[in-house]
Amino acid sequence: MCTSALWLMCVSLLFSTSLSCYQCFVDVQDSLRLCWGHILTEHNIRNVDACFRKLDSIFNNNKRVIEAGRVGKGYDKQLKELLNAEILPMVEEFNNRLNDDTVYEERLQTAADNFIAAASKLPRVSGCFPPCGFQSAGAVYNCITCQYDSCEFPLDCPVKEIKVMENSRSRMWCDVPFHLPNDIEVIWRFAEEVKTQQVDQFKEVTAGVDRLYSIPSASLQHQGTYLCEIYSGQRSIVRLYYYLTGCGRPHRAAGDIRPVSAPRRVVTPCAWWSSPLPPPPFTTASHSLFNCFAAAAIPLPRDSVLAINTRANKSF
């Protein structure tokens, strides 16, 4: 049995392997006073460390206690109040008094059950919104670590692909479904031509509080990945990625002559911008990206004039 000089060490050793809401909220000195008069009825001796093992069994290894303590942000104070309301009256009642281990067993188990019932009524986690971002409002209290756990999502959101027509307006909103602090800073970055989430490939474009990034007239030079990173103080909260790719507007090639009576040609879907590739012979890269009409033979009625469709090969 531990002497009074070694009680604090006994508590540390007995509770070192696992924690629970009990260790988070009940002072060690109160636990010592509570267990001072613990009697092992089998041997009729006072045994304090046996009392701590009983606390460990009823609270630390009780999954129901730990689960009841998984409350939303800010409710850990109520957890402490609930547990102290059960334990502290016992501390005053048992201090410097001898009580059989069976009394301890019954009273501590009742205290644990009462705590579970009351704590389970407290608001649960505020809500985690997958798949990304540091969400402090969605944090849940963990009685094993005595602190709040985050939603455990990565900072980086999946890349969202945006397709636009050449010369059209494009807007990207740096918006998230979870609550943001009031002191945010928004930094927009751009990685030209590539689809990536490698932060070192981006160059800063703008910084401030504006979560909207607008491109008035999209063109090939705007193709690439846009990164919006939101900060609060020095902490990065979330990184959103937008891969902008586009399609050239259809236009009539030089030499495309057709009679009024000729049937309307079906417009071939335009080619989407892609990462630059070596241009084919006699064709510029810009022309191959923005030309949406391929040369094709056009069937005509018997008495109709033949339409000649050629593709001009010139740089834009």
The pLDDT score that the predictor gives to residue 54 is 94
- Model pLDDT for residues 43-85, shown as the tens digit of each residue: 999 999 999 999 999 998 899 999 999 998 889 999 999 999 9
Rg (CA), the chain: 35
- Using an 8 Å Cβ cutoff, are 128 and 135 in contact? yes
| DSSP secondary structure of 177-203 | SS---SSEEEEEEEEES-----GGG-E
Amino acid at residue number 57? S
Q: Residue 8: pLDDT above 50?
A: no
Residue 95 to residues 35, 37, 38, 87: CA-CA distances in angstroms?
8, 7, 10, 12
Our CA angle for 161, 165, 169, nearest 5°, is 85
Average pLDDT over residues 185-192: 97
- Model pLDDT for residues 212-259, shown as the tens digit of each residue: 999 999 999 999 999 999 999 889 999 999 999 987 655 544 444 444
- Using an 8 Å Cβ cutoff, are 225 and 191 in contact? yes
Percent with pLDDT over 90 in the chain: 57
- Model pLDDT for residues 102-156, shown as the tens digit of each residue: 999 999 999 999 999 999 999 886 678 889 998 877 788 998 889 888 788 899 9
Q: Residue 296: pLDDT above 70?
A: no
Query: Whole-model pTM?
Result: 0.53
3-state secondary structure of 104: helix
